[in-house]
């Protein structure tokens, strides 16, 4: 392990950036899946029904991801984290 990664602040930053990168990759993957599920016959314009389908599909994915992260966060932080107040946001929306 490099000397920079031994610094807890640098390690935390690298972990957060890695999580963000993974999440953005998941968003792209989910958008592709939603596109496939919502697109009927492609045309030159995106009608409102298809646009709403894609938006709702991605929004549900974000809601689900946020729920899972909020449920797993206390387990990852350890038993002392359950007594600490939860933050109002999640790293998912940074």
Phi-psi region of 78 (alpha: psi -120 to 50; beta: other; left: phi over 0): left
Look up tokens 């958008």; give the residue. Answer: 31
pLDDT digits (tens, 9 = 90+) for 12-60: 889 889 988 988 888 788 878 888 888 877 778 888 988 899 889 888 8
SS3 label, residue 23: helix
The answer on pLDDT for 87 being more than 70 is no
Residue 89: predicted pLDDT: 43
> What CATH architecture is 8-69?
Orthogonal Bundle (1.10)
SS3 for 34-86 is HHHHHCCCCCCCCCHHHHHHHHHHHHHHHHHHHHHHHHHHHHHHCHHHHHCCC
Predicted structure pTM score: 0.48
């Amino acid at each position: 392990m490099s000397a920079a990664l031994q610094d807890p602040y640098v390690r935390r930053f690298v972990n957060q950036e890695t999580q963000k990168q993974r999440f953005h990759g998941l968003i792209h993957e989910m958008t592709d899946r939603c596109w496939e599920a919502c697109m009927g016959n492609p045309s030159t314009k995106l009608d409102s029904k298809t646009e709403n389908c894609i938006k709702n599909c991605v929004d549900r994915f974000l809601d689900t991801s946020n729920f899972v992260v909020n449920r797993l966060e206390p387990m990852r932080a350890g038993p002392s984290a359950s007594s600490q107040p939860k933050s109002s946001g999640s790293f998912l929306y940074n």
